[in-house]
Amino acid sequence: MKTIPPLLVALAFAAALPVVSAAQEVAPLRGEVGIDELNEAPPIVRLRSGRAFPRAYRQQPPLIPHRIAGYQIDLRVNKCLSCHDWPNNVEEGAPKISETHYVDRNGRPLDRVARTRWFCTQCHVPQTNAPSLVKNAFKNAKDLR
């Protein structure tokens, strides 16, 4: 194996130095608490459920207005389908999964949810009343018109 010249090693360390000092200035979300200490437990938050949430912009994946704790989604099982896939949705009174979810990556229509849409919670998420962790200036698309 070829050995790395010492000068190159020194240069690599010098290049890494500014990155290290920048990282130290970041305020951690868990507060200024040592790694080996326990931080204060975060406040208990309530899930916001009930009626469908308004969408913030046209293409937004709708937010989930109900609990999903314990709903399994893995390689074979997808609990969401038991209510949202046709024809189950009729019996459950749940909104039917969008037709866009039954098209594969080549635009071919399918009779089953496309694999590209299998992991629902990649795009659809429930909401809680937790305060934002970081400040942001997000505005709904309709308020920007």
Nearest of 54, 52, 57, 60 to residue 145 by alpha carbon = 57
Cα 107 to Cα 30, 61, 97: the distances in Å are 44, 19, 17
- Looking at the Cβ atoms of 48 and 124, the one nearer to ligand HEC is 124
Give kind and range of the element (H or E) at residue 81. helix 81-84
User: Cβ(79)–Cβ(73) under 8 Å?
Assistant: yes
Member of 48, 83, 103, 127 binding ligand HEC (CB under 6 A): 83
Site for ligand HEC in 91-130 (CB under 6 A): 92-95, 97-98, 100-101, 113, 117-124
Interaction between residue 76 and ligand HEC (CB under 6 A): no
Residues of this chain that bind ligand HEC (CB under 6 A): 51-52, 59, 61-62, 64-66, 68, 71, 78-80, 82-84, 92-95, 97-98, 100-101, 113, 117-124
